[in-house]
Amino acid sequence: MEPINLDEYEALAATLVRPDQWDYYQGGAADEETLRANRDAFRRIRLRPRVLVDTTTIDTSTTVLGTPVSMPVLAAPVAYHGMAHDDAECATARGVGRAGTLMVASVNSNRTLEEIAAAAGGPLWFQLYLSADLADVEKMIRRAEQAGYGALVLTVDRPVFGRRERDLRNNFRLPAHLRAANFGDATRDLATACVATWQSLDWLVATTRLPVLVKGILTAQDAELAVAHGVSGVVVSNHGGRQLDGVAAGVEALPEVVAAVGGRCEVYCDGGVRRGTDVLKALAFGARAVLVGRPVVWGLAVDGADGVARVFGLLRDELRSALALAGRPGVPDIDRSLVTTVTEAADGRR
């Protein structure tokens, strides 16, 4: 039977991916408190629907940095799709394109950024890290520009690797038949981030003609600095709970980041999105769109490009239903009055 929600895709995918590779995709850092918090945070948010609103027509479409997408749900960068499906990121790109939305391709991919771009049926952004060799980073940037990527997404929360105990226990290595394709014949992760600084971000913004987003922002202070250093967007993210354990969930940090940015750039959020109502909640707190990572891999493992498209289709259908039931006919109709937290509700503040 075909899965009817993302949890069912997860359960089915778990039977299809080798256990150590499944742990790589699913695991978080240390005690995995933040990994769990990403889901739990959405459960503490309550919706406040309006009634007697004409919802005859529901529109989930929006734009991200001016690019039209069918829904405010994008594919987050996830490394090494080849462990989930033989066609790897090319299948993912096809599925995301069929869903009418946007994929952020990881620099740590099993297909080259050029192969992913050739396979894609929709817009792409490219995720990268700043390594110690900026000449090599610049070469990667030029490749992304030439291949037609629409933006660069700099991940800034990995000065060192989080302590991912599942991978340590499994002694995880990239399978022998796969390679870190953007780095030639490498069979290991070569995008080891250096301790980048705000001056490094200045270099990136000055080096590329593409808009730059910064992924890994969790505080108002860093959001304000990112804007001051010329970014076009920030992604509120804790790296899927894989870096510093014990930090806030993305949706928990989202309101302070949105307030700090004050409309000067677009704000995105990832971490724990599994339902259309989660999308609705994040947008009500001010996100332009959300990104999903692990669910994309689940769809890929189950049915390649078709599975990826189906995962996004489920989220779009759930979002359409949630918009109608909340009395919000379209994405522009979503605002902060739609949500309250369990604490706020108990205190009678909203």
11-15, 94-98, 181-185, 280-284: which has the minimum mean pLDDT?
181-185
pLDDT exceeds 90 at position 186: no
- Is 60 inside a domain boundary? no
pLDDT in tens, 205-231: 999 999 999 999 999 999 999 999 999
The answer to whether residues 251 and 277 touch, using CB atoms and an 8 Å cutoff, is: no
Residue 258: inside a domain, yes or no?
Answer: yes
What is the pLDDT at residue 341? 86
CA separation for the pair 233, 215 (Å, rounded): 9
* Active-site amino acid positions: 239
Note down the domain range covering 132.
6-47+66-315
CATH number at residue 263: 3.20.20.70
How confident is the model at residue 148, as a pLDDT?
98
**Which contacts qualify for 53-58: CB closer than 8 Å, 24 or more apart?**
53/327, 53/328, 53/329, 54/329, 55/323, 55/324, 55/327, 55/328, 55/329, 57/329, 58/320, 58/323, 58/324, 58/329, 58/330
Would you say residue 329 lies in a domain? no
pLDDT bucket at 133, cuts 50 / 70 / 90: confident
Q: What is the pLDDT of residues 85-128, one digit of tens each?
A: 999 999 999 999 999 999 999 999 999 999 999 999 999 999 99
Residues 142-162 have a mean pLDDT of: 96
* Domain assignment of residue 283, yes or no: yes
Q: Is residue 284 part of a domain?
A: yes
Query: Does the pLDDT at position 132 exceed 90?
Result: no
Residue 212's SS3 state is strand
Q: CA-CA distance, 161 to 155, in Å (whole number)?
A: 12
Note whether residue 113 is domain-resident: yes
Asked, for residue 56, whether it belongs to a domain, the answer is no
For the chain, what is the domain count? 1
Model pLDDT for residues 64-86, shown as the tens digit of each residue: 999 999 999 999 999 999 999 99
Average pLDDT, the chain: 95
Pairing of strands 212-217, 152-155: parallel
In this structure, is residue 103 part of a structural domain? yes
Looking at residue 321, its pLDDT comes to 98
For residue 13, give the 3-state DSSP assignment.
Answer: helix
The pLDDT confidence band at residue 1, using thresholds 50, 70 and 90, is confident
**AA identity, residue 66:** G
